[in-house]
Amino acid sequence: MSTFTSTEREKFRLSMLLNDRRYRSYTFQFFALLVLICIISYLGKNLVENLAKAGLNISYGFLEDPAGYDINQRLIEYNSQSSHLRAAMVGILNTLLVAVLGCITATVLGVTAGILRLSNNWIVAKLMAIYVEIFRNVPILIWILIISSIFMGVLPQPRAFKGENPDATMLWDMFAFTGRGIYAPGPIFFEGSLVVVGTFVLSILSIIALRRHARRKLYSEGRVIKTGWWSIALFFIPTILIYYALGSPIGLEYPELKGFNFKGGIYARGSLISLWFALSIYTGAFIAEVVRAGIQSVDKGQTEAAAALGLRNNFIMNLVILPQALRVIIPPMISFYLNITKNSSLALAVGYMDITGTLGGITLNQTGRAIEAVLLLMLFYLVISLSISAVMNIYNRSIMLKER
């Protein structure tokens, strides 16, 4: 006997679109789509009417026109006759430069402060707590402005370095810290420098290979191969040998005072330095909190278990605590790196020419192409954000896999 009453598929009625759960979602989505299309077409209609009224059109031709403005801080060749596109490229590179520098120093600062905040030294822990609270609770824009005014106010102007008995002197005759920026020696590459760089890269690769080999031996045969001294030797000796064998193909160019300004070497503008500083010290405070929370999230039993196994303190940290803490730390860390990239757009406040300053600032104002410029600007940040989060998600997943 069958207890099933085979339900014949009910005949579809129009009212089921509203009353039947199976179909209601289609109705709902249809209306949502309809509303969306209506909104978009309404906005589009307004846009077209407004553009026609203002006698404007949407065109990206302006990117080819000469920009006509100068950019002081640049990584690639650029002059005022270059196109707006070139200016945007300079801006993009400047954004990436300050973002990468900021991420590195913010991580260093944040991890140090986070670990020190857990220190058993009362005064150090409190000092770090104060640092974190002060920097987390004040807007980044105010920090950028404060740090840039410190930078300009405290450091001497280049002309202070002039004369027989100058007010300011260069550090080891190599670094000049001025209110306009920092001048440092820059490398000059002669013939054969490529070989030296190549050797250096090769020796680093071989160090990695050596360590990997040592670890494999440890896991498979239980033999410990000491790699410490070998790595140090590999790091220095081949490169130095090749360097002198080829007759010192890489030289240093020292900054020199010419007229009222320094020439030569590497020049980092004050705006870059203060933006970099502000971004890393601000984000460092957030990272410190995350690092602290991550370390605290590891159960105390783990430390005790590791100690019971006879591991020494630094092994406990490296082999037991950190791998588990990293799983908690890395996801928020990704969003902090993204935040640094996005906050670097505040460069506008100190006059650092990043993409917001070039494309979204001067180019926009000169050409009046607001829609095109802002769209490009958003596209750039979107691409950066999505790609950073994609890369970091892959890394995150590789860490998560080790869980079980």
Partner 1 sequence: MAENNASFVRHELIKEQVPPVSERGLVKWVRENLFSSPFNAIMTVLSLWVIYSIIAGSAPWFINGVWNASSVRECYDILDGVRGACFAVLKERFPQLIYGFKYPPTEYWRPNITTLLLLVALAPVLFRKLPRQLLAFSIIYPFLAYWLIWGGTILVPVVAFLGFAAGVYCFRRFSTNAFALGMIVGVIVASIFWLFGGYLSDANETFLSLQAVPSRDMGGLMLNLLLGTIACSVSIPLGIFLALGRQSSMPIIKWICVVFIEFIRGVPLITLLFVANVILAFFFPPDTSIDLILRVIIMMTFFNSAYIAEVVRGGLAALPSGQYEAANSLGLDYAQSMRLIILPQALKISIPGIVNVSVGMLKDTTLVSIISMFDLVGMIRGPILSTSEWNGVYWELFGCAAAIFFVVCFSISKYSQWLERQLETSNR
Residues near partner 1 (CB under 8 A): 25, 28-29, 32-33, 36, 43, 46-47, 49-51, 53, 119-124, 127, 133-134, 136-143, 145-146, 149, 153, 342-343, 345-346, 348-349, 356, 360, 364, 370-371, 374, 377-378, 381-382, 385-386
Tell the smallest beta-carbon distance from residue 167 to partner 1 (Å).
Answer: 18
In sequence order, what DSSP letters do the residues of 313-373 get, joined into one string?
HHHIIIIIIHHHHHHHHHHHHHHHHHHHHHHGGGGGGTT--SHHHIIIIIIHHHH--HHHH
Beta carbon nearer to partner 1, 35 or 205: 35
- HSE value, Cβ hemisphere, 13 Å, CA-based, for 99: 24
- Cβ closest to partner 1, residue 119 vs residue 297: 119
Separation in Å, CA 65 to CA 26, 61, 68, 79? 50, 7, 9, 13
CB of 334 to partner 1, least distance (A): 12
User: How buried is 141 (Cβ within 10 angstroms: 0-12 exposed, 13-18 middle, 19+ buried)?
Assistant: middle
Three-class HEC string of 141-207: HHHHHHHHHHHHHHCCCHHHHCCCCCCCCCECCCEEEECCEEEECEEEECCCHHHHHHHHHHHHHHH
φ, ψ of residue 188 in degrees (nearest 5): -115, 130
Least CB distance to partner 1 at residue 188 (A): 37
Shortest Cβ 125–partner 1 spacing (Å): 9
Q: Which residues does residue 253 pair with via DSSP β-bridges, in sequence order?
A: 186
Nearer to partner 1 by Cβ, of 143 and 262: the residue is 143
The least CB distance from residue 50 to partner 1, in Å, is: 5
**Minimum Å distance from CB 1 to partner 1?**
29
**Cβ proximity to partner 1, 169 vs 387, nearer residue:** 387
Between 272 and 373, name the residue whose CB sits nearer to partner 1: 373
> Which residue, 60 or 244, is less far from partner 1 as judged by CB?
60
Tell me which residue has tokens 């870059």: 272
